[in-house]
């Protein structure tokens, strides 16, 4: 089950940064990516070396991602690495929704899927 965070977490670490992040501000993009990068330790967590190795190329090509075909460039550049982060960055930059198993579970709650009102995570696996 997904971790549950208090609303204060979003109020302190998401909402103050999301608007500037969507405009391509480096500091805001770093903060919003740290907000996404949570674990059992401090929240938000500074990016680990492996996460920074994905964040830096994203920042280096940010101008390209903010152009007309930026979404395609982002998808192409991150098709083989940091897929979860690239989907999240697309959400931030282009205001695109994120559809995952948890969204699928939530949709099933409001509209039964194949006659099933509630799904568990294993049942909610999304096929391409």
Shared domain check, 102 and 92: no
pLDDT of 18 reads 94
1 inside domain: no
Shared domain check, 25 and 58: yes
pLDDT of 68 reads 92
pLDDT of 1 reads 36
SS3 at position 116: strand
- DSSP collapsed to 3 states, 4-67: CCCHHHHHHHCHHHHHHHHCCCHHHHHHHHHHHCCCCCCCCCCCCHHHHHHHHHHHHCHHHHCC
Domain that holds residue 117: 98-128
Query: For residues 3 and 13, what is the distance between their CA atoms, to the nearest angstrom?
Result: 16
Best CA proximity match to 119, nearest among 100, 105, 103, 102: 105
Both tokens of residue 60? 């280096």
pTM, two decimal places: 0.74
Q: Tens of pLDDT along the chain (128 residues)? A: 345 567 788 888 889 999 999 999 999 999 999 988 877 776 788 898 988 999 999 999 999 999 999 999 999 999 888 888 888 999 999 988 877 666 666 666 666 666 666 666 666 666 65
pLDDT of 79 reads 87
Shared domain check, 102 and 50: no
Shared domain check, 51 and 66: yes
Shared domain check, 86 and 76: yes
pLDDT of 105 reads 66
Query: For residues 128 and 13, what is the distance between their CA atoms, to the nearest angstrom?
Result: 32
Query: For residues 38 and 34, what is the distance between their CA atoms, to the nearest angstrom?
Result: 7
Shared domain check, 60 and 115: no
């Amino acid at each position: 089950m997904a971790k549950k965070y208090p609303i204060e977490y979003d109020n302190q670490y998401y909402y103050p940064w999301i608007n500037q992040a969507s405009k391509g501000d480096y500091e805001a993009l770093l903060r919003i990516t740290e907000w996404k990068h949570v674990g059992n330790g401090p929240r938000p967590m500074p990016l680990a070396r492996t996460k920074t190795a994905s964040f830096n190329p994203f920042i280096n090509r940010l101008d390209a991602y903010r152009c007309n075909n930026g979404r395609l460039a982002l998808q192409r550049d991150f098709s083989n690495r940091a897929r979860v982060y690239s989907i999240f960055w697309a959400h931030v930059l282009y205001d695109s929704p994120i559809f995952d198993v948890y969204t699928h579970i939530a949709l099933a709650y409001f509209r039964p899927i194949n006659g099933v009102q509630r799904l568990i995570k294993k049942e909610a696996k999304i096929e391409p």
